[in-house]
Amino acid sequence: MKKIEVPLGEATRIINHGPCVLISVANNNRDNLFTVAWNMPVKKSPALVAIESSKSHFSFPFIETSGEFCINVPSASIVESVLKAGKVSGAVVADKFAHAGLTRARSEKIRAPRVAEAVAHLECKVKQIISIDSSAIIIGEVLCAVADETSFSNGVWQFDNGLKLLHHLGGNAFCISEKKILL
């Protein structure tokens, strides 16, 4: 097997992370939505997850002040909406849900809305924000976790019904996961 050198600016692309997610946030005046590729589980009990955000993103202050956010897991069937939500700032578009063609749904435990078209939702309260230069790792405790019963059951994603999850590979490159392998 021949190996090639990978530029350090692309090194993080070697370890793929979870699926692309839509983060929904709210403050007293409005809500917003943004796409995140860098997300991961952190701990099982209590259930902790993490997302990465630039501090300059329009939604970052929403998370800081509200202390909450919702991770919405879209399937690849709404890829165009995921891309639209990720390509424009809430500072430019006042209603990113409408811009992306997505529907707000009421959350159970937080003020930020869910994305109705997503196949799963993790409603989170901020446990810690770790500052890393111009970015931050936001660790959230999951307060409520719900998923479409045909897409997630017995603790795993179910791909038998055509579920395809979207993964960002870097730049304009994406792939989908669509098959479970049992070993």
Domain residue ranges in the chain:
8-177
pLDDT band per the 50, 70, 90 thresholds, residue 9: confident
Q: What is the pTM for the complete model shown?
A: 0.93
- Phi and psi angles of residue 130, each rounded to the nearest 5 degrees, phi first: -105, 115
Residues 6+ apart with CB under 8 A from 42: 48, 49, 50, 139
Identify the weakest region by mean pLDDT among 2-6, 157-161, 165-169.
2-6
Which tokens go with 91? 């500072």
Confidence of residue 143 (pLDDT cuts 50, 70, 90): very high
CATH number 3.40.50.10470 given to 8-177: no
State the burial class of residue 5 (Cβ atoms within 10 Å of its Cβ: 0-12, 13-18, 19+): exposed
Residue that is written with structure tokens 């959350």 in the block: 107
Q: What is the pLDDT of residue 16?
A: 65
Structure tokens at 132: 């890393």
Please give the sequence-ordered ranges of beta strands (E in DSSP) within the chain, or none if there are none: 21-26, 31-36, 39-43, 48-54, 68-73, 104-105, 114-115, 120-132, 135-147, 152-153, 156-157, 165-170, 173-177
Structural contact between residues 55 and 134, judged by C-beta atoms closer than 8 angstroms: yes
In the predicted model, what is the mean pLDDT of residues 106-127? 97
Q: What is the mean pLDDT of residues 23-41?
A: 94
pLDDT, averaged across the chain: 92
- Average pLDDT, integer, range 118-127: 96
Confidence class of residue 103 from pLDDT cuts 50, 70 and 90? very high
Please name the amino acid found at residue 62. Answer: F
C-alpha distance from residue 120 to each of 18, 29, 50, 68, 74 (Å): 13, 26, 16, 17, 7
